[in-house]
Amino acid sequence: ILATAQIVSAVLPYEDNPANFKHQRAADVLGNKEPLFVKYQTGNPNMYPVNPCQAFQTMRKVGGNKYRVAVFYATSQQRDLETFFTIVMTSLTALHRHPNVLLHQTGIGGPNVPFKVMFADRTAGCFILTTNIRGLGKGCRLLQTSTTVALPVPAQCLGVYLRHCPFNSLPIWQDDCRRRLPFKME
């Protein structure tokens, strides 16, 4: 049995390995009461946008597997962040017992992109979403809650990001991002 588990671990990507499923629930990402800010993301084309100060906030569940979320990002040095609202749909991939995929727009008028939850730790306030689009490769976003994003990335979350995401990371978080939200989120 141990040999089989080691083979599965060596073959499957982290986000598809059953040994990691307890940290891969969409509900842990969408169940936060505060905005989640992108701290780092992979610098490849499937990770649109690359604007600074990206964040999203779950507003409410609208039924079944659908959630209304507010998405924020900077388009310039303007004071407030751009905001749009979109519906996030959750689904699950093979072997998962709980939804582990978030399907949503990341930019106004953009396509719905599936992001697997690679890692989610609500207690530490750190989350990693990943997508793998044919021809564009794998991309990751590391997010932290509004109250933890100015702090160092928790060790377990950072370790997963560094070991299982492409090395070309871009810093997205800036010190003024929180105060640039267009309205107070609670």
Degrees to nearest 5, angle at CA 157 with 135 and 172: 60
**Which residues have CB under 8 Å from 179's CB, separation 6+?**
none
Residue 122 and residue 27: Cα distance in Å, rounded?
10
Q: Which of 80, 3, 68 is nearest to 30 (CA)?
A: 68
| Tokens encoding 65 | 């597997």
Statement: the pTM of the whole predicted model exceeds 0.75? yes
Q: Determine the 3-state secondary structure of 157 from DSSP.
A: helix
Domains and CATH numbers, the chain: 20-177 (2.40.128.20)
One pLDDT digit (tens) per residue for the chain, 186 residues: 444 444 445 589 999 999 999 999 999 999 988 999 999 999 876 677 788 999 999 999 999 999 999 999 888 766 678 899 999 999 999 999 999 999 998 888 888 999 999 999 999 999 999 999 777 789 999 999 999 999 999 999 999 999 999 988 999 999 989 888 876 554
Q: Which of 114, 82, 99 is nearest to 182 (CA)?
A: 82
